[in-house]
């Protein structure tokens, strides 16, 4: 290669983890570490007219607020850039480049916008900025389409500063790298830098970067990375690992220590609050060639085993894979579960005989059931009270177990318990298994609410019970050790998820009271 540069994207790609809410103190510390490390290019964040802010975040409302509130002093020899997503900023509103402002713009665009981005690129260059071309999900281009784009760039944007191979879904393998590298290198105008941006869904970011470094080319090369791999989903190539490799084998003189220090003091704190890194759901998103946002959405429901998450991802329509559509994801999730249809009229009639005008105790798997077990048993064992365990994996001696989980269902069947289960988990069983048609008992607003508590409440209201005792409904905390009595049930939840769930279930229970059913909490709960 002619020359090699490293771009650190922590403040931009890393911002996808925490909605760009680094806060000014962390922003300053990360920038200082990047500058001290000697990385060649620093990406400061996104420019976005609708979602951007003036300060405290790395998603900016325009280019000027970057220099006004953040980039106060520029380090000599360092290039400072920001990214735009096609369609999220009117380039006509971009100010002329100044000495104190950002030096370049990276424009990310989907394949459908590849022709329209040319005009935007010309405007950006004419305003004095370095311009970097970022064709997202480059692997989605056929050879002919990629050659067509390169030819267009060569003719109409020959003065662009760089053309990137972008592995948006972390799905590129060595044969993909070899094919696309040869295609781009042999056809792109010789004066243009070739860049590579990767995600780590298959843990291939580092090896793919090494493959690019070993690729025989005479052009300039630029590699993207982020500190500790901070980035959406599985994250990115680690800056600290890449810089060490370049120091060892390519004569680099980067300083790793500032990065390790900011990892210790800043990035580790962010990682504990906003997890990123390899996880099975991100492997599945890569294997199914879709944005990892779908995998996160389905997995974070904590309602499906991982193999069914993979099955759901395989059902995503090709045209929907590129960008996450929450409404589409919810509809697909419901269709997947609702496809397992049963006639539950007989089962419901039998359950009504048990529950009509009765007092019922629901025991959920919250951590409080350990401390309050004596009180729970005292009430549960009263002759006129019927008890239902909600996804309980321990034997509390309940009259029924209502489960929405395959593992709890299988365990309960093997133990011969009386089971209430949805058709999403089982279509039938022995006489002690009552199967509810999934679609009839869930609640749908802007989300699908199909937890065991939602189904139990809807069932008990339909059975016209007189009184409901609640135990183990502690509410959700970001501290996963606080959420369940059984450590095997622990799943990480973000602060947003915990807050949203707590608000929803509090309203759900308030709605039960409004329908004239008495509700009594036996254990402390955030839903009271």
pLDDT tens across 513-523, in order? 999 999 999 99
Strands 79-85 and 41-47: parallel
| Residue partners of 423: CB distance under 8 A and separation at least 6 | 337, 340, 341, 342, 344, 435, 436, 437, 438
Q: How far apart are CA 212 and CA 91, in angstroms?
A: 32
Beta strands 221-225 and 4-8: pairing type? parallel
Whole-Å CA distances, 515 to 137, 362, 485, 507: 51, 18, 31, 13
**What is the three-class DSSP state of 308?**
helix
CA distance 516 to 464: 10
Give the model's pLDDT for residue 492: 72
> Tokens 């025991």 belong to which residue?
363
pLDDT tens digits, one per residue of 95-153: 999 999 999 999 999 999 999 999 999 999 999 999 999 999 999 999 999 999 999 99
Q: How would residue 479 be classed by pLDDT, with cut points 50, 70 and 90?
A: confident
Supply 321's token pair.
């894979």
- Which DSSP symbol is given to 96? P
- Beta-ladder partners of 362: 388, 470
Angle at which helix 452-462 crosses helix 345-355, to 10 degrees, equals: 80
Backbone angles phi, psi at 331, to 5 degrees: -65, -40
Whether the per-residue pLDDT at 484 is higher than 80: the answer is no
**What confidence score (pLDDT) does residue 303 get?**
81
Question: Predicted confidence band at 327 (pLDDT cuts at 50, 70, 90)?
Answer: very high
pLDDT tens-place string over residues 401-430: 999 988 888 888 888 899 999 999 987 766
pLDDT of residue 429: 65
Question: How many of the other CB atoms lie within 10 Å of CB of 450?
Answer: 21
- Three-state DSSP class for residue 310: helix
Query: Which residue is listed with tokens 């309602």?
Result: 303
Q: Which pLDDT does position 396 carry in this prediction?
A: 82
Spell out the domains of the chain, with CATH numbers in brackets: 4-273 (3.20.20.70), 280-338 (no CATH), 345-521 (no CATH)
CA 417 from centroid of its chain's CA atoms: 37
**pLDDT value at 491 more than 80:** no
Overall average pLDDT of the 250-258 stretch: 97
Tell me the three state secondary structure of residue 397.
coil
Q: Which residue has the tokens 């080319």?
A: 217
Q: From CA 177, how far away is CA 206, in angstroms rounded?
A: 12
Q: Which residues pair with 520 in a beta bridge?
A: 469
Task: Kindly tell me the sign of the dihedral angle through the C-alpha atoms of 473, 417, 454, 386.
Answer: negative
Please give the structure tokens belonging to residue 296. Answer: 């996160």
pTM: 0.80
Q: In the beta sheet, which residues pair with residue 242?
A: none
Q: Tokens 């243009």 belong to which residue?
A: 192
Q: Which of 72-86, 242-256, 286-300 has the lowest mean pLDDT?
A: 286-300
- Give the pLDDT confidence score for residue 363 in this predicted structure: 94
């Amino acid at each position: 290669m002619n020359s090699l540069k490293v771009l650190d994207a922590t403040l931009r790609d890393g911002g996808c983890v925490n909605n760009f809410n680094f806060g000014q103190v962390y922003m300053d510390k990360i920038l200082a570490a990047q500058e001290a490390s000697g990385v060649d290019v620093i990406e400061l964040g996104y420019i976005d007219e609708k979602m951007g802010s003036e300060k405290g975040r790395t998603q900016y409302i325009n280019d000027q607020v970057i220099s006004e509130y953040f980039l106060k002093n520029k380090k000599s020899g360092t290039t400072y850039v920001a990214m735009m997503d096609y369609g999220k900023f009117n380039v006509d509103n971009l100010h002329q480049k100044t000495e104190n402002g950002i030096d370049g713009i990276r424009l990310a665009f989907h394949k459908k916008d590849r022709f329209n981005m040319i005009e935007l690129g010309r405007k950006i260059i004419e305003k004095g900025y370095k311009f970097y071309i970022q064709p997202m999900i480059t692997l989605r281009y056929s050879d002919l389409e990629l050659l067509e784009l390169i030819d267009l760039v060569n003719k109409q944007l020959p003065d662009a500063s760089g053309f990137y191979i972008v592995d948006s879904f972390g799905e590129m393998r060595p044969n993909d790298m070899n094919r696309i590298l040869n295609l781009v290198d042999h056809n792109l105008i010789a004066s243009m830098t070739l860049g590579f941006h990767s995600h780590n869904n298959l843990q291939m970011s580092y090896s793919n970067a090494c493959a690019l470094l070993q690729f025989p080319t005479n052009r300039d090369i630029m590699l993207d990375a982020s500190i500790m791999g901070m980035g959406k989903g599985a994250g990115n190539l680690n800056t600290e690992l890449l810089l060490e490799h370049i120091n060892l084998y390519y004569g680099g003189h980067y300083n790793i220590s500032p990065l390790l220090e900011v990892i210790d003091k800043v990035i580790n704190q962010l990682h504990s609050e906003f997890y990123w890194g390899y996880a099975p759901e991100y492997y599945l998103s890569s294997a199914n060639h879709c944005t990892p946002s779908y995998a996160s959405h389905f997995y974070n429901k904590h309602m499906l085993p991982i193999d069914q998450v993979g099955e759901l991802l395989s059902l995503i329509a090709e045209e929907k894979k590129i960008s996450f559509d929450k409404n589409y994801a919810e509809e697909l999730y419901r269709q997947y579960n609702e496809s397992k249809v049963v006639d539950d009229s007989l089962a419901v009639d039998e359950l009504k005989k048990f529950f009509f005008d009765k007092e019922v105790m629901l025991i959920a798997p919250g951590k409080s059931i350990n401390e309050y077990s004596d009180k729970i048993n005292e009430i549960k064992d009263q002759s006129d009270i019927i008890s239902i365990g909600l996804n309980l994996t321990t034997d509390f001696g309940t009259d029924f177990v209502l489960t929405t989980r395959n593992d709890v269902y299988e365990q309960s069947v093997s133990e011969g318990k009386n089971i209430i289960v949805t058709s999403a988990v089982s279509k039938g069983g022995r006489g002690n298994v009552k199967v509810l048609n999934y679609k009839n008992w869930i609640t749908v607003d802007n989300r699908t609410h199909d937890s065991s508590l939602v189904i139990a409440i809807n069932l008990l209201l339909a059975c016209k019970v007189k009184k409901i005792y609640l135990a183990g409904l502690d509410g959700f905390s970001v501290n996963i050790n606080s959420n369940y009595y059984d450590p095997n049930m622990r799943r990480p939840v973000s602060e947003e998820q915990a807050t949203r769930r707590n608000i929803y279930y509090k309203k759900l229970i308030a709605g039960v009271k409004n329908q004239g059913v008495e509700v009594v909490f036996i254990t402390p709960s955030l839903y009271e």
